[in-house]
Structures are given as C-alpha cells and as structure tokens.
Amino acid sequence: MNCKQFELRLDDYLDHELFPGEAIDADAHLKQCPACQTRVERARTLQHMLKEIPTPPLRSGFAREAIARATGSDGKKHQRRGFVAGFSTAIAASVALMAVITLLPHSLPEQLAPVEIAQVAISLEQTQTVNLVFNTAQALDGATLTIALPANVEVPGLPGQRTITWQTNLQAGKNILPLPLKGLRRDEGELLASIEQDGKIKSVRVHISVGKTLQPQARLHALHSA
C-alpha cells in the first residue's frame, strides 16, 4: 500500500471498517510512513474534537412548556414560533428598543445617532442600501420583523412586494439590517419597520424621498440629461 492508497482508506481505517487483509496492509504502511502517521493522528484528533463541540444545555422547563403548547394544555393558542419563556416579563422590565437609521451605501455606519424618525433620500431608478440598525438592550429571540414599504421604493428581487415579514433573533446591542431599496418613482413615502415579540410591537418610521434630495453633482447631472 502506498500513501495515495492509504489516504483513500483513511476513514475506513479510522472507523475500523477495513477488511482484515486491508487492515494488515494499512498497518504495515503506517509503520514505515511518518506522513500517514501524521495524517491519522490529525484525523483522529478531528474526530475527537467533533464529539466535543458543545451545545447550550436544554433550558429547564422547555420540554414541559413545549409539550403543553403543542397539546394546547397551556390554554393558549399555538404560537407558531418565537416562543421564549419569561420573555414578556423580560421585555417589560428592560428592553429598550430603538431603530437607528443611517444611509451609507455599502458600508457600515461608524457613528450612529438614535432617531425615532429618520430621513432617507434615494435616487430614482437606483438601488441604495439603507442600514436599519436595531439596538436592543438584550437579545430578542424569535422576534418577527416586518418591513412595510411605501409605494415609491421596492426591494430588488422582490418586485411589487409591499410587506416583508420574517422571523429573526436580535442579539444584544446593534443589529444591522442592510436593506437595499430601489427608487421607483419621484415621490415621498414612509417605510415602517416593526419588531414584534410576544404581542409587543416596536416600530420606527423612515421618511423616504425618491429623486428629490439629490446631491449637487447628481442634480447637475440630472439637469444635463433632462
């Protein structure tokens, strides 16, 4: 057996699945080949490490709560997702949720000022990325995020879709959602971004002007091309 042949049988060798004859050949090769010895040692280490990858322990009470929810024994209607025990008290006590909006195409904002209503200007027929920054005091698991778009913009790839809803987890601190928006028509509009968790909703409005607040150069360019 040579190195190439040994390498092909490495996993069978590790799993003790070689035929007896092959196993003898493999051992003989291994005895005189430091390269394959290293190969085996590394592969064994890897297999050992795979078994060590941790999982967070199952939250105590989860099994009971989840089964009660599934059977309706908890007296509540099924919530499809976003179920985190103790969340309602946690959110009431300490979550300060705000949206920070900046407009910086293709880059993350360096400085963020919290505002309730943000202003964003987008050029007509162009796609610009609006970074919606959700700042939370603590992690929000299984929150429902909804973006309701005004008629003057759309998300490229989702033509005609006015509302985008999905489930996500927000980590404590800044969570940045780069939202690509394409200016559809010269108009004013208001985007509404909401986060819902356990019946509680936080929203932020973003005022969006399309094709109006152009940069001087862009305006000049627009005049020229008009």
CA distance 163 to 196: 14
CA distance 186 to 123: 9
| Segment interacting with Zn ion, rule: CB under 5 A, options 11-19, 25-33, 108-116, 195-203 | 25-33
Distance (Å) of CA 181 to CA 55, 140, 154: 38, 26, 6
**Which residues are CB-neighbours of 218 under 8 A, at least 6 positions away?**
123
Nearer to other proteins, 52 or 110 (CB): 52
Kindly list the strands in the beta sheet with 188-197, ordered across the sheet, starting from the edge strand earlier in the chain.
Answer: 117-122, 200-210, 188-197, 140-148, 163-170
Applying CB under 5 A, among 1, 10, 33, 90 the residue interacting with Zn ion is: 33
Question: 3-class DSSP state for residue 45?
Answer: helix
Choosing among Zn ion, other proteins, none, which partner's interface includes residue 11 (Cβ < 5 to 8 Å by kind)? other proteins
| Segment interacting with other proteins, rule: CB under 8 A, options 27-35, 151-159, 204-212, 216-224 | 151-159
Q: Helices in 15-174 by DSSP H: which ranges?
A: 20-31, 34-52, 62-71, 87-94
Q: With binding defined as CB under 8 A, does residue 166 bind other proteins?
A: yes
CA distance 92 to 149: 28
Q: With binding defined as CB under 8 A, does residue 35 bind other proteins?
A: no
CA distance 103 to 127: 12
| Segment interacting with Zn ion, rule: CB under 5 A, options 29-37, 85-93, 114-122, 202-210 | 29-37
| Segment interacting with Zn ion, rule: CB under 5 A, options 26-34, 171-179, 191-199, 200-208 | 26-34
Q: With binding defined as CB under 8 A, does residue 138 bind other proteins?
A: no
Applying CB under 8 A, among 24, 104, 151, 158 the residue interacting with other proteins is: 158
Choosing among other proteins, Zn ion, none, which partner's interface includes residue 109 (Cβ < 5 to 8 Å by kind)? none
Segment 63 to 102, residues that bind other proteins, using CB under 8 A = 63-64, 66-67, 69-73, 78, 80-84
**Which residues are CB-neighbours of 173 under 8 A, at least 6 positions away?**
135, 136
Interface residue list for other proteins (CB under 8 A): 11-12, 38, 41-43, 45-47, 49-59, 62-64, 66-67, 69-73, 78, 80-84, 141-142, 155-158, 164, 166-169, 171, 175-179
